[in-house]
Amino acid sequence: MPADKIQLPERMFHPKSIAVVGASSSAAETGWVKRLLDFGYKGEIYPINPKVKEIQGLRAYANICDAPDPIDYAILNVPARSTPQALRDCVAKRVKFVHCYTAGFSEDGNDEGKRLESEMTKMITGSRTRLLGPNCMGIYCPESGMTFSEDFPKAEGRIAVVSQSGAEASRLVLLCQDVNLYCSKVISYGNAADLDAPDFLEYLAQDTKTDIIAIYVEGVKDGPAFMSAVRKCRAKKPVVILGAGTTENGARAALSHTASVTWSQENWKAFFKQTGAIPALTTDETADIIQALTRIRKMSGQRVAIVGRGGGIGVVATDICERAGLKVPPFSKETQAKLGKIRPDAGAGLRNPVEPKLGMEGATEFYLRGLPIIDADTETDIILIQMAVDIYGGHGADLRQIMSESAYALCAAADSIKKPLAAAMFTGGRPETVLAAAAARDILTKAGIAVFTGVESAARAISRIPIAKP
């Protein structure tokens, strides 16, 4: 791979200077300039706006060519019809990366939009300027202080997201934040008129700050390049892909969204088989798989031990796991006998699933005394704690404290458990329970325990984790 292929994106995520072409002069709205300042971008910012002298305390320039210094990264925030001239100026200024935020190009499906996009592509051909977009949100990189949403966390993490959709990328960032997982680099790349998924993936494959790569893609323009790039990533780290637009009208919607020609389910199936990438059907599932890959220790098999209160809930949880391709076999006789000693009144609820005593206190006690027994069971490979806090969480003023104490007990117990372990916490919608559960989830996920919103999402994610070779 040519050196510049690797170096270029590095500068894209860490530009020394950013120009905002069409910077908003309104004090009321949060424009690109204010967002970068607020988020802590440390490089130089050059607002470009011919109508004002100053934006957010920074000197504004009438044209990007008037900026006194070299520009690494320019954001085009001008109407679609004005973008060719703005891009022409960027090329003249030798801007390294132009992020065209503006929409209204090939995705509109009309001749004018296609013509404009094609004009832009021709304009950069042979130049030193690369184009990101059009019709995209650009870069989020907490390390360098770049963001496209003021809602994103400033914390740095080790997940990279390569997404044609800005909205799905945003949802993924926030869903990860909910469980204390953070990103290294996020790229929303829209129509991919120039820079495309393979360009980013070639870089992320060798990015030492990225452990997992999640991709949301509607159209693959260059199949072999995409496959080659995903394979390079896969050689070093897991890759999760949401291939959108696989149904008849999903494909039509994708054409309207990013002018993408999508792959069929069959195409994707073959692709996943050949690359070892992990498929996801929704962004929520992508977040679940990321959490499973990050926090669930290597599994030696797919036999699940289910721990949690509720006989019928246990039966349904077992069905859900088995439908997801996992197994929920009975514990060994030895394990059942040991469990019977600490729960002599449990009756049948000792065989897997196993039921702790009632309430969060019962759960807490079982984490400390029961989990070590299940850890030694020979018939199961992974422990799934199901917490129906909607009916067993308790209530009243001390709800939050009781649930938090139970979470700390599980953290303590998990420390000495060798088997991989995960939790499914379902809350229902009662605000009091939701808030107490959020506090408990925070404790658990900060301690590195995967917490899912239900058995269904947990089982789907667990079923996607590769099995460790003995």
Q: Is 44 left (phi over 0), alpha (psi -120 to 50) or beta?
A: beta
Sheet harboring 421-426: ordered strands across? 304-307, 382-388, 421-426, 450-452
User: Toward a second copy, which CB reaches closer, 144 or 283?
Assistant: 283
Q: Which is nearer to a second copy, 226 or 426 (CB)?
A: 426
Q: Which of 6, 37, 174, 227 binds a second copy (CB under 8 A)?
A: 174
For a second copy, the closer CB: 61 or 268: 268
**Contact status: 391 vs a second copy (CB under 8 A):** yes
Tell me the window of 1-9, 35-43, 346-354, 460-468 that interacts with a second copy (CB under 8 A).
346-354
Residue with tokens 């077992």: 318
| Helix (H) / strand (E) containing 159 | strand 159-163
Residues in the chain: 470
Applying the rule CB under 8 A, the residues between 185 and 224 that interact with a second copy are 216, 218
Regarding 127 and contact with a second copy (CB under 8 A), the answer is no
Strand partners, 467: 299
We find the least distance from the C-beta atom of residue 274 to a second copy, in angstroms, to be: 22
Nearer residue to a second copy within complex by CB, 319 or 334: 319
User: Under the criterion CB under 8 A, does residue 65 sit at the interface with a second copy?
Assistant: no
- Specify burial of residue 286 (Cβ count, 10 A radius: 0-12, 13-18, 19+): buried
Q: Which position among 9, 15, 349, 370 is part of the footprint of a second copy (CB under 8 A)?
A: 349
Q: At its nearest, how many Å lie between a second copy and the CB of residue 329? A: 6
Does 356 contact a second copy by CB under 8 A?
no
Using the rule CB under 8 A, is 351 a contact of a second copy? yes
**Which member of 244, 289, 292, 422 binds a second copy (CB under 8 A)?**
244
State the number of binding residues for a second copy (CB under 8 A). Answer: 80
Q: Which residue has the tokens 């860490």?
A: 14
Contacts with a second copy in 19-58 (CB under 8 A)?
Answer: none
Quick check: 154 and 40 in contact, CB under 8 A?
A: yes
State the Cα–Cα distance between residues 407 and 398, nearest whole angstrom.
14
Residues 271-300 contacting a second copy, CB under 8 A: 281-284
Asked if 246 interacts with a second copy (CB under 8 A), we say: yes
Q: Report CA 326 to chain centroid distance, whole Å.
A: 24
Applying CB under 8 A, among 8, 37, 368, 438 the residue interacting with a second copy is 438
Question: In this chain, which of 103, 368, 376, 447 binds a second copy, going by CB under 8 A?
Answer: 103
Interaction residues for a second copy, span 309-338 (CB under 8 A): 309-316, 318-320, 322-323, 327-330
- Under the binding rule (CB under 8 A), the answer on residue 256 touching a second copy is yes
Q: In what order do the strands lie in the sheet with 278-279?
A: 138-140, 183-188, 159-163, 212-217, 239-243, 278-279
Distance in angstroms between the alpha carbons of the first and the last residue of the chain: 35
Amino acid letter, residue 383: I
Amino acid (1-letter code) at residue 233: C
**By C-beta, is 364 or 453 nearer to a second copy?**
453
Q: Please tell me the distance from the alpha carbon of residue 371 to that of residue 393, in angstroms, as a whole number.
A: 20
**Helix, coil or strand: residue 36:** helix
Residues 416-435 that bind a second copy (CB under 8 A): 426, 428-431, 434-435
